[in-house]
Amino acid sequence: MSKMSRQTAIVGAGRTVGFNVEEHTVAELLAQAAKMAIEDAGLRKSDIDGIITTQVAGFGSDPRLQYRFAEYLGFGSYAKVIDLPHTGGMSSGYANNQARWYLQQGLANYVLVLDGGNWREQYIGRGRDMGAAVRPYRESMRSPHPFDWEMPYGTGGAYSIYAPVGARHMYEFGTTSEQLAAIAVACRKHATMNERACLRDPITIDDVMNSRWISWPHHLLDCAYIAPGCATAYIVTSADRAYDSPKPPVWILGAGHGMSYYHVGNLCTPSPEGFDIVRTVGKLAGDQAFGEAGVSRSDIDCLQVYDSFTTTALLAIEDFGFCEKGEGGPFAEDGRLELGGELPLNTHGGLLSEGQPGNGTLFVMYEGISQARGEAGERQAAEKPMVCIGGASGVASNFGCTILQGE
Amino acid sequence: MAEYNKPVPGVTPDSKEYWEGCRRHELLIQRCTECGHHRFYPGPICQAFDCLSMDFEWVRSSGKGTVYTLTVVVRAPNEMWADLAPYALVLIELDEGPVMFSRAVDIPAFDVKIGMRMEVVFEDLTDEVTLPFFRPIAAPEA
Amino acid sequence: MIETLSREAAIIGIGSTEMRNPDGRSGMSLYMEAIKNAMEEAELTKSDIDGFLVYPPNGSMRFHTELTEQLGSANFGKSLCDFPLVGGLMVGLAVNKARSAVFHDQCKNVIVVGGGTWRSSSHRTPIGLSGVDLSESIYHSREPISMEYEFPYGLHLPALAAMVTQRHMQEFGTTSEQLAAIAVAARKHAALNERALLRTPISVDDVLSSRMIAEPLHLLDCSYIADGASAFIVTSAERARDAVQEPVWILGSGQAQSFQHMGHLCRGSDSEFDLVRTVGKIAAGQAFTQAGLGPEDVDVAELNDSFTTTVLLQLEDYGFCAKGEAGDFVADGRLELGGALPLNTHGGLLSEGDNGLGNSIPALIEAVTQLRGDAGERQVEGAEVAMVSGVSESLSSYSVALLGRN
């Protein structure tokens, strides 16, 4: 076992301006983000010899999309490493670890990590026929698809299967809708300072409570805002190259990930290790990342997490260890998650207010990089913040955790 | 039978017995013949801690269980479901152990609560597919 | 900070199903049988496995999570669960991820599993053999896809490989007889492998007189589609020393990717690479460097043989012979048991069978079997170093692993 902490750094980052997809394909947006990251790092395209692409929404079901992409961007020529983690919204911690492994083995010098999507068009413009997605699976696998056990009852995307997680948390720990709402309020407050954010009007807890039910116990404002197209990219390199770029490096202090089940029924069944639907493997991810970084939770100046729903952020706060299990509700109160509070959460507004154009996990990462670089302007959490970044996927099934710090 | 306009599950080698049971209005789950662990949804291998047995039998579940958690879907996923919303999706912890996904019927959606006792009830959706739903157990249980 | 990880991880368990599926079992069931066999061989329990690299039968994005879920409660919380890439690349990529995960203590034991139900499946795709419905991704997305410029003309995988072959023949004078020698060697070995589906010996003439699939590739130049699954388990050096089975060490692994669009492959770059000079050279170079070995040190090669041409290109690009000379190299039984470079001693995809996206795992399992000295009649005496490879179906991306005896 070798020590990986501070052996790799982020030396470039890019994010397309605003959100739009009317006149751009996702591929174009990704190309833009990649170009921005490469220029930010003071590199040339040919320096990039590793590419990690998340599952980019809008590219259909082709598992080879990473090649199509690399080729489209003109990177495909002779990259040594092209990877596509199938880990959804938890991809940040995961991709960071994969990138570190490639760098550590000398398989690549600069790894470009990409994410993007246009969920708004996909989900709202066209609807989403899960039946069509399931059919080829069944036919070729001749195994039941996990959706077979849920979809016929009327599930239709993450919102209807995440809500039971929130309901169980309320039942076991007495968490209230007002406490969940405090998470949405904090994120919106931060979004008002972020020009990129889709939703920038301040809201109150009452506003959240009075927004319509989407899937009880989640109100409209407990749910991420599905955004038009956007893409983001960043570049990871090894310590020996970290100072070759114009901007000071952002060091990866630690990264970890934990995965579990997908089917909600199985998530409800407690595991021998004590995990279940409200005690997530975010604990594995957090313990790994903090253990490796050798820092404590109280060292963290801001937390950027995948907040597909207020409940998702709540679980990350608890399971990463920022408070005891079940105490996430009270922890979210009293402005503790707002800038100026104890643990500012999603200083860009999160997926709840900045918007979620796709998996979204790397947009959270992008804000973390901006914070670590001290580039977050009036949203800056501290002068040289130590940042914790979290991603989640499945039904809070899988978590990734990364800890960053600027130079 | 009237045209059913919502998604129906597909029948595969692993799930064939289950769906045939549903058509007979029997809720079948698998029981590992080595360690006795019950599992749902159907699969080829025992899910119990460190049991690797691929031998199992189909047994009839009591069809009774407890609401582990739920949601009331208010915003329908798409037009297909608009006539039904709001509806309560439930996770039922069967008395045999496994937790299965379903929808509550015979009760207003917002009246469903965690911990409520429920029993299975079958609805024939099409000539081929019957789906198990859950309704509150009316009388006090012995 | 570069650490090659040579001999830092080892393979301590292997497991397979038959290459056929007469009862029409589900893919999941086949995968579970392979996993169970590998775990039982290694005497590991479910809770010992905390990493899963799963090659789904059909490109499904969620199969890996479903598989671990069906395996059950002991695997609720795990540290690695991914479907890393697809196709021929799996060996190098999976080996790399698995050994990094155990080396960095992310995982204790990582299981890699793949396979499919290609033969028994009712699901047929526009490109015939890939197991992935490209039509969906082409026509249901407005994003740019290079395949849009190829598949509408009637391209399928054998045709793609045939175009590569044609170019090799044109540039280097390679003949169909030479290609056939690769298929003949594989079949000869398959005759000694009970698991192989095609075990009747064939001659060069048999290959040449088999029906033409896409000029110049005959039926017997193409892999034989099968069902089945196989799995292997990777652990750290420390744990490997306590393993029940004799560990087989990972000496090196490498990978390199290029283009998918054939036009780019032909003339896509200013580099030394093109359609018949592949990036396999980079992949093998990485593996050899890590291992501190060269082609001359390889005692047995289990290389991806989706087509006879696939082997031909690799022999050249991995450095077993000079570019353009593989046609001559494969003559005179050099690839047969007893020859200078025994190749695909199990029969390969050509004769043992080709079971889908994880189709490099059977080759890796054969390499492990050889290095353990368990290959019986087809044992390569004194085998110390084995090479395993994976190649993408478009012959554009390559991965290589070098394995060594305990």
Contact at 8 Å (CB) between C338 and C383?
A: no
Residue C136, pLDDT score:
42
**H-type helices in A249-379, by residue range?**
264-268, 282-293, 310-319, 328-332, 350-353, 361-373
For residue A217, cis peptide bond before it (omega within 30 degrees of 0): yes
Q: Work out the burial of residue A296: count CB atoms within 10 Å of its CB; fewer than 13 is exposed, 13-18 middle, 19 or more buried.
A: exposed
Provide the pLDDT confidence category of residue B124 given band limits of 50, 70 and 90.
very high
For residue C362, cis peptide bond before it (omega within 30 degrees of 0): no
Amino acid at C296: E
Question: Both tokens of residue C91?
Answer: 């060996």
Give C-chain residues touching B54 at CB under 8 angstroms.
29, 32-33, 36
Residue among C338, C383, C337, C330 nearest C193 (CA) = C337
Helix (H) or strand (E) run with residue A206 in it = helix A205-210
Q: Which of B39, B41, B49, B55 is most worth mutating to test chain C (most C CB atoms within 10 A of its CB)? A: B49
Give B-chain residues touching A145 at CB under 8 angstroms.
10
**Partner-chain contact A146 C83, CB within 8 Å:** no
- Nearest-CB residue to C25 (from B13, B48, B49): B13
**Partner-chain contact A265 B14, CB within 8 Å:** no
Residue A125, pLDDT score:
39
C69, closest residue in chain B (CA to CA): B47
Rounded distance, CA C66 to CA C74, Å? 14
Residue A139, pLDDT score:
55
**Partner-chain contact A152 B9, CB within 8 Å:** yes
**Partner-chain contact B45 C74, CB within 8 Å:** no
Q: Work out the burial of residue B81: count CB atoms within 10 Å of its CB; fewer than 13 is exposed, 13-18 middle, 19 or more buried.
A: buried
Residue C1, pLDDT score:
60
Residue A299, pLDDT score:
98
For chain C, helix (H) and strand (E) counts, in that order, are 14, 11
Q: How far is C338 from chain A (nearest CA, A)?
A: 35
Out of A317-321, B74-78, C161-165, C386-390, pick the least confident. Answer: B74-78
Residue A21, pLDDT score:
58
Residue C256, pLDDT score:
84
Give A-chain residues touching C4 at CB under 8 angstroms.
105-106
Contact status of C47 with chain B (Cβ, < 8 Å): yes
Q: Work out the burial of residue A244: count CB atoms within 10 Å of its CB; fewer than 13 is exposed, 13-18 middle, 19 or more buried.
A: middle
**Partner-chain contact B44 C24, CB within 8 Å:** no
**Partner-chain contact A4 C104, CB within 8 Å:** yes
The structure tokens 């959270």 sit at: A364
Average pLDDT for A369-397: 94
Give B-chain residues touching A215 at CB under 8 angstroms.
71-75
Residues 46-65 of B with CB under 8 A from C: 46-52, 54
Contact at 8 Å (CB) between A404 and A252?
A: yes
Enter the ipTM: 0.85
Q: How many CB atoms lie within 10 A of CB B49?
A: 17
Backbone angles phi, psi at A32, to 5 degrees: -60, -45
Out of A137-141, A284-288, C44-48, pick the least confident. Answer: A137-141
Contact status of B118 with chain A (Cβ, < 8 Å): no
For C143, which DSSP code?
A: S
Q: Beta strand pairing status for B64-73 and B87-94?
A: antiparallel
- Nearest-CB residue to B14 (from C28, C39, C73): C28
Touching partners of C (3+ C-beta pairs < 8 Å): A, B
Contact at 8 Å (CB) between C116 and A121?
A: no
**Partner-chain contact A213 B8, CB within 8 Å:** no
Considering A29-33, A378-382, B76-80, C146-150, the range whose residues carry the highest mean pLDDT is: A378-382
Contact status of C292 with chain B (Cβ, < 8 Å): no
Q: Beta strand pairing status for C109-117 and C49-55?
A: parallel
Q: Which of A215, A261, A278, A279 is most worth mutating to test chain B (most B CB atoms within 10 A of its CB)? A: A215
Q: Which of B101, B103, B126 is most worth mutating to test chain A (most A CB atoms within 10 A of its CB)? A: B101
- Nearest-CB residue to C72 (from B12, B14, B47): B47
Query: How crowded is the C-beta side of B63, counted as CA atoms within 13 Å?
Result: 17
- Nearest-CB residue to B14 (from A143, A268, A277): A143
Contact status of B65 with chain A (Cβ, < 8 Å): no
> Of A70 and C37, which is predicted with more confidence?
C37
Provide the pLDDT confidence category of residue B105 given band limits of 50, 70 and 90.
very high
Provide the pLDDT confidence category of residue A395 given band limits of 50, 70 and 90.
confident
pLDDT in tens, chain C (406 residues): 677 889 999 999 999 999 999 888 888 999 999 999 999 999 999 989 999 998 877 656 677 888 888 888 667 777 777 777 655 566 777 888 899 999 988 899 999 999 888 777 654 443 343 334 444 433 334 565 566 677 667 777 888 899 999 999 999 999 999 999 999 999 999 999 999 999 999 999 999 999 998 899 999 999 998 999 999 999 999 999 999 999 999 999 988 887 777 777 777 566 788 889 998 999 999 999 999 999 999 999 999 999 999 999 999 999 999 999 999 999 999 999 999 999 999 999 999 999 877 889 999 999 999 999 999 999 999 999 999 999 987 888 899 999 999 8
Q: In this model, does residue A36 exceed pLDDT 60?
A: yes
Out of A89-98, A259-268, C68-77, C78-87, pick the least confident. Answer: C78-87
Residue among C355, C27, B79, B35 nearest A136 (CA) = C27
Query: Given CA atoms C72, C77, C83, C88 in this order, what sign does their dihedral have?
Result: negative
Q: Which residues pair with C398 in a beta bridge?
A: C256, C391
